């Protein structure tokens, strides 16, 4: 069983066109005595990676989010002490200790644990707020936190072997890192969404495609990364100004009325239309779209890492 606590992550960039691959790579299990903060650090690094992509404008056009090993994500290891779940649920604390030697009371546990939840939420939300599109390529189990991750991505593909689960209810938790907020908006507020969240039951790749969680199921497990990279390259061909504006408007319109969305894009395009990318795109597509990919400047050419 692979857990987040037993995982390291890397951000690798490729050019041209700039497509980043964010890959979860299996690492030896961490010693609890030596690496109690490893899981918390992993969440921080996910958020930091996508915040950097959104703030530095290093030329990356698309991010491929994938897993390595047998699972895309097997979920959070709730026994990891850095999360404090086991301690928070322990019995025998009456909360009356006033000398500072006993366990903390409920209020102090709340004040201690809430920032950890907010940190994990922020890490997942960084995928959504990053102006660069994120394409998730799912294989094998995608459980709990894995569903949090992919519902914050922009495009999702999965292999035939993929199995999904909003598993939290089955282990006594209420999902709190984004699934309950994003999953219904991705696939619709329907009876099936609630059934999956209430029961924590598995659903397969075919159902994920049917309900709209993924764009499609790939031809085979082996073709997953190739097909996902093809989507990334087709996105990366386009103006980064246009793509970033499209993502911004889609996210805004999802959470607002149609009228608000129209006002938002009108204000955005009043400035965004003043770009040379439009001319470059017209010239490149004059031959039916089969010409060379136009060379676009970075979103923020003067930004520094």
pLDDT (tens digit per residue) in 104-163: 789 988 898 899 899 999 999 999 999 999 999 999 999 999 999 999 999 999 999 999
Question: What does the pLDDT average to over 252-268?
Answer: 96
Q: Which of 197, 212, 236 is the last residue of a domain?
A: 236
What is residue 45's predicted lDDT score, i.e. its pLDDT? 86
Q: Provide the 8-state DSSP code for 79.
A: T
Question: Is 13's pLDDT higher than 70?
Answer: no
Q: Answer yes or no: do 221 and 294 share one domain.
A: no
Q: How many CB atoms lie within 10 A of CB 251?
A: 13
Q: What is the CATH number of the domain that holds 263?
A: 1.10.12.10
Q: Is the pTM of this model over 0.85?
A: no
Surface-to-core class of residue 89, CB atoms within 10 Å of its CB (0-12 exposed, 13-18 middle, 19+ buried): exposed
Closest CA to 83 of 47, 120, 50, 125: 120
Q: 């999953």: which residue's tokens?
A: 183
Q: Answer yes or no: do 245 and 140 share one domain.
A: no
More confident residue, 133 or 277: 133
What is residue 294's predicted lDDT score, i.e. its pLDDT? 74
Q: How many CB atoms lie within 10 A of CB 213?
A: 24
What separation, in Å, do the N-terminal and C-terminal C-alpha atoms of the chain show? 36
> What's the structural domain count of the chain?
2
pLDDT (tens digit per residue) in 138-147: 999 999 999 9
Q: Which of 236, 256, 286 is the last residue of a domain?
A: 236
Contact by Cβ (8 Å): 177, 117: yes
Spatial distance between the Cα atoms of 46 and 40, rounded to a whole number of angstroms: 10
Q: Which of 236, 253, 276 is the last residue of a domain?
A: 236
Q: Answer yes or no: do 59 and 184 share one domain.
A: yes
pLDDT (tens digit per residue) in 262-275: 999 999 999 988 88
Question: Is 180's pLDDT higher than 90?
Answer: yes
Question: Is 94's pLDDT higher than 60?
Answer: no
Q: Answer yes or no: do 49 and 198 share one domain.
A: yes
pLDDT (tens digit per residue) in 46-58: 889 899 888 876 7
Contact by Cβ (8 Å): 65, 137: yes
Q: Answer yes or no: do 137 and 231 share one domain.
A: yes
More confident residue, 86 or 195: 195
Spatial distance between the Cα atoms of 4 and 18, rounded to a whole number of angstroms: 28
More confident residue, 54 or 288: 54
Of the candidate ranges 20-34, 90-104, 171-185, the one whose mean pLDDT is the lowest: 20-34
CA distances (Å), origin 227, targets 68, 85, 93, 149, 280: 16, 38, 53, 20, 27
**117 phi and psi, to 5 degrees?**
-65, -45
Bridge partners of residue 158, in order along the sequence: 138, 217
286: which residues sit within 8 A by CB, 6+ positions away?
none
Read off the pLDDT band of 82 (50, 70, 90). low
Spatial distance between the Cα atoms of 64 and 136, rounded to a whole number of angstroms: 6
Q: Answer yes or no: do 124 and 207 share one domain.
A: yes
């Amino acid at each position: 069983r692979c857990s987040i606590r037993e995982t390291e992550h890397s951000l690798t960039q490729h050019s041209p066109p700039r497509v980043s691959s964010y890959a979860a790579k299996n690492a030896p299990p961490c010693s609890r005595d030596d690496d109690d903060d490893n899981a918390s650090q992993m969440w921080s690094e996910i958020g930091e990676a996508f915040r950097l992509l959104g703030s530095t404008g290093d030329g990356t056009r698309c991010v491929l989010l994938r897993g390595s090993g047998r699972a895309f994500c097997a979920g959070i290891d709730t026994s990891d002490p850095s999360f404090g779940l086991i301690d928070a649920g322990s019995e025998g604390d009456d909360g009356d200790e006033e000398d500072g030697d006993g366990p903390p009371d409920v209020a102090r546990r709340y004040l201690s644990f809430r920032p950890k939840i907010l940190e994990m939420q922020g890490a997942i939300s960084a995928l959504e707020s990053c102006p660069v599109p994120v394409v998730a390529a799912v294989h094998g189990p995608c459980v709990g936190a894995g569903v949090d991750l992919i519902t914050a991505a922009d495009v999702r593909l999965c292999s035939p072997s993929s199995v999904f689960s909003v598993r939290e209810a089955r282990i006594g938790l209420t999902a709190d890192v984004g699934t309950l907020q994003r999953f219904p908006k991705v696939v619709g507020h329907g009876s099936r969404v609630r059934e999956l969240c209430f029961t924590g039951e598995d659903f397969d790749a075919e159902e994920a495609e049917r309900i709209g969680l993924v764009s499609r199921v790939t031809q085979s497990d082996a073709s997953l990364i190739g097909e996902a990279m093809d989507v990334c390259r087709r996105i990366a061909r386009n103006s980064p100004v246009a793509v970033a504006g499209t993502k911004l408007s889609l996210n805004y319109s999802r959470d607002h009325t149609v009228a608000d969305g129209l006002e938002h894009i009108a204000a955005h395009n009043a400035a965004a239309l003043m770009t040379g990318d439009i001319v470059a795109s017209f010239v490149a597509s004059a031959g039916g779209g089969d010409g060379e990919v136009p060379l676009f400047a970075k979103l923020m050419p003067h930004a520094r890492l």
